[in-house]
Amino acid sequence: MKNHLRQKLTKVKDFENPKVSLEQYITPPGLAADLIFFAYMNQDLSGDVLDLGTGTGILAVGAALTGSKVEAVDKDEEALDTARKNAEDIGVSEKVSFEQEEASKISRDFDTVLMNPPFSQHSNEGMSFWATATSISKKVYSVSPTSNREGIKKFLQNTNHKIIDLEKFKIELPSTYGFHTKEGHKTEVDLILTEDTQ
């Protein structure tokens, strides 16, 4: 199944006009497939699932490919238009509900949150995603920069969530913005699973 997911997710289109202020990068298909397969094998895609900050929809589409129904939210309507088109092109549009919404405004409960929050090199936006995710869901599957690991651990100390599993990956991010001078660059990220232990 993981190879099938990876193959399908390579068809997900990237941001047409990525916004640097929102730190918009597409999750690499291989990494997205790893996250989705991990959640699927843990039977965490069978309940109420939210893709928080869906971007162009790669995690929502991946979850839908396993048969899950997914709610996907993002504050950028342009990204959501691309996400809807991706879901339609890959044949899962009936399984994904896309909504324009700020991550910090969501208060309804979910069983599982999937997310690849902003890497937050210049802001605390990524931590605001963690604050929302841990307050509304039983489990959180996230891609985060390895450099943010200690900050995330410190943040989780003040929540009911604990890290259950963590794997480190090295990925290559493509050149996305006009000021990028290299074709791509490698960075280390963590695939993190947290669970509400209360």
- Look at residue 23 in the predicted model and tell me its pLDDT: 60
pLDDT (tens digit, 9 = 90+) per residue, 173-184?
665 545 445 555
Which among 185, 193, 187, 147 has a CA at the least distance from the CA of 167? 193
- Look at residue 179 in the predicted model and tell me its pLDDT: 43
pLDDT (tens digit, 9 = 90+) per residue, 113-157?
999 988 665 556 678 999 999 999 999 999 998 989 999 999 999
| Rounded mean pLDDT, 164-193 | 74
At the second CATH level, the architecture of 2-13+22-196 is 3-Layer(aba) Sandwich (3.40)
Residue 37 CA to residue 31 CA, distance in Å, equals 10
Q: Are strands 137-145 and 184-196 parallel, antiparallel or unpaired?
A: antiparallel
- Look at residue 177 in the predicted model and tell me its pLDDT: 43
| Cβ burial, residue 21 (10 Å; 0-12/13-18/19+) | exposed
Contacts of 188 (CB under 8 A, 6+ apart): 145, 146, 147, 168, 169, 170, 171
Which among 101, 159, 103, 162 has a CA at the least distance from the CA of 135? 159
The domains of the chain are located at 2-13+22-196
Tokens 């920069």 belong to: 145
Residue 120 CA to residue 106 CA, distance in Å, equals 20
